[in-house]
Structure 1
């Protein structure tokens, strides 16, 4: 029975993405270092999520600091490039000031021209990560799973 479970999980795409990796044996950690607090951030988008209090789907923007693992979260009805730009300005730049690096995945809203303009204005390095690269996305994906569990 257990071997059937493992075979099914290995073949199922959604199981591979959303499964908890508690059963994986420990191995060498790939740590993304940061020289100080709140300098390097990773952003991701979750959604659509149906909240219990509302029947309309919502989206969540998540930003996590690599060094402290501090999480900034905001929920929106729709995520546009203006919403992402406002989130970065209000929740990260204005609060933590020392931002030097933002790493995002290949979502179009996170890679818009407006986002690039903000990064140039505040002298922030804007990088893209490879999709589903656990070494780089691990902290955000764990935060995402915890946020999904809350809602």
Structure 2
């Protein structure tokens, strides 16, 4: 008798979120697109999401399932930190010098978390590729890179 798989895994949650975003992107473009540039940017975002979904699907099929599940779960937890950081900035709205320091602390914790996930996977498997793979699966759901936060 086969062991039953859990209904919702971290990977299925991640792929479901990307699929939901793919469904929302055209609706948002139609509702909020007011000129050619905004619709072009929305189309580019849709294509990026589509590429991400394909990459997640392809990489997930070739990767070690346990490593993918653990790394994606860690990334989702790190993504919660990103949501908390956004909430603090939008609800509490700390003054600018403190806000920048707070952002940097959150992003340092997130980056160290991703590095820790990658390091543990590489050490456990004895292969650098395992660490890179685990780091990527942890980074995707954790949110945009800290470097992209400087553009706001």
* Structure having greater relative contact order (Cα 8 Å, sep ≥ 6): 2
Larger radius of gyration: 2
TM-score when scaled to structure 1? Answer: 0.29
Q: Which has the higher strand share?
A: 1
> Could you say which structure has the higher helix fraction?
2
TM superposition score normalised by structure 2: 0.29
